[in-house]
Amino acid sequence: MLLRELQKLLDRIYDTEVGLDVYDFLVTDRGEVADGDESGERPAPDEELLLSEDGDTVNVALYVAPQVLERLSAHDPMQTLDANNIADYWTALEGVSHFQYLIWNAHRDQSVSRHELEMQAEVDKYAATLFLLGSQNSGRFPLRLHRWLFEQARVDESLGPEHRHLYESANRYAARFCRMLEQRFLRRGRVRIEAMMRELRRFYRLPHAPKIRHIEATRAGSSLERRA
């Protein structure tokens, strides 16, 4: 099933294993869970990781809109990823990314901020799309992926200022990191997939603050190189 395949794809990229099946936590009926926007001022998102506390226990559920799953079932991105299903693929992948990263860190007694979840999900979407399209196209990687995912992205206008800032910041940092990956590992004639995998795995294991410092340091280093 698709979400399980996405779990396996992220596991292969990051060399992780959370030991939990995302389908055991999947909810497709929003009536079964509390709505994060009780005001009803904006439509429910197509994907959302839902957390609730019960004493010392945290309950986790992943909501993915049934329409998204139905469209992906009819046009399986693991077989052919293209313009017809890539938006739904990213929606489902973002949910799986949130679930995987939260559980992986929880097993290590590490807390995760919302900004960190969103930033890692954007990196996961880039990496998983890159490798999936590469496997479907005889090792050829899409040079326009960064533009599709980051430069053409638009934050929901109905979000409040605080949430808009969070998503814009997470997207901006992820975009910088993924641009660095392209420049270091995907230049024509110098494609270095194994080195890129090592960098992705190292980044995945960094806590939030070191992630930010790593991106900022990388950006500063790139600026110095351009000026030299």
Together in a domain, 119 and 102: no
In the predicted structure, residue 204 carries a pLDDT above the cut 80: yes
Please give the Cα distance from 195 to 191 (Å, whole number): 9
Together in a domain, 93 and 138: no
Together in a domain, 52 and 136: no
Tell which of 64, 87, 108 closes a domain. Answer: 108
Tell which of 67, 92, 108 closes a domain. Answer: 108
Q: Residue 198's pLDDT is what?
A: 97
In the predicted structure, residue 214 carries a pLDDT above the cut 90: yes
Tell which of 108, 143, 165 closes a domain. Answer: 108
Tell me the torsion sign for CA atoms 7, 121, 46, 85. negative
Burial of 3 (0-12, 13-18, 19+ CB in 10 A): buried
Together in a domain, 44 and 150: no
Residue predicted with more confidence, 221 or 177: 177
Q: Are 131 and 13 in contact (CB under 8 A)?
A: yes
Please give the Cα distance from 47 to 204 (Å, whole number): 22
Together in a domain, 119 and 226: yes
- β-pair type (57-64, 26-27): parallel
Which residue range is the domain that position 87 belongs to?
1-108
Together in a domain, 90 and 153: no
Buried b (16+ CB within 10 A) or exposed e, 47-73: bbbbeeeeeeeeebbbbbbeebbebbe
Residue predicted with more confidence, 71 or 31: 71
Q: How far is CA 18 from the centre of its chain?
A: 16
C-alpha distances (whole Å) from 122 to each of 35, 69, 98 are: 24, 20, 10
Q: In what order do the strands lie in the sheet with 26-27?
A: 26-27, 57-64, 47-54
Together in a domain, 161 and 204: yes
**Number of domains composing the chain:** 2
In the predicted structure, residue 225 carries a pLDDT above the cut 50: no
Together in a domain, 103 and 125: no
DSSP 64: E
Q: What are the tokens at 31? A: 């009536």
Together in a domain, 121 and 104: no
Please give the Cα distance from 95 to 22 (Å, whole number): 10
Burial of 96 (0-12, 13-18, 19+ CB in 10 A): buried
Please give the Cα distance from 151 to 145 (Å, whole number): 10
Q: pLDDT per residue over 26-59, tens digit each? A: 999 987 765 545 445 556 789 999 998 787 788 9
Q: What is the mean pLDDT of residues 200-218?
A: 95
Please give the Cα distance from 123 to 205 (Å, whole number): 13
Number of helices followed by number of strands (H, E) in the chain: 8, 5
Instruction: Tell me the β-bridge partners of 48.
Output: 63
Q: pLDDT per residue over 116-170, tens digit each? A: 999 999 999 999 999 999 999 988 888 789 998 998 766 666 667 777 889 899 9
Instruction: Tell me the β-bridge partners of 62.
Output: 26, 49
Together in a domain, 126 and 208: yes
Together in a domain, 103 and 119: no
Q: pLDDT per residue over 90-119, tens digit each? A: 999 999 999 999 999 999 999 999 999 999
Together in a domain, 49 and 137: no
In the predicted structure, residue 227 carries a pLDDT above the cut 50: no
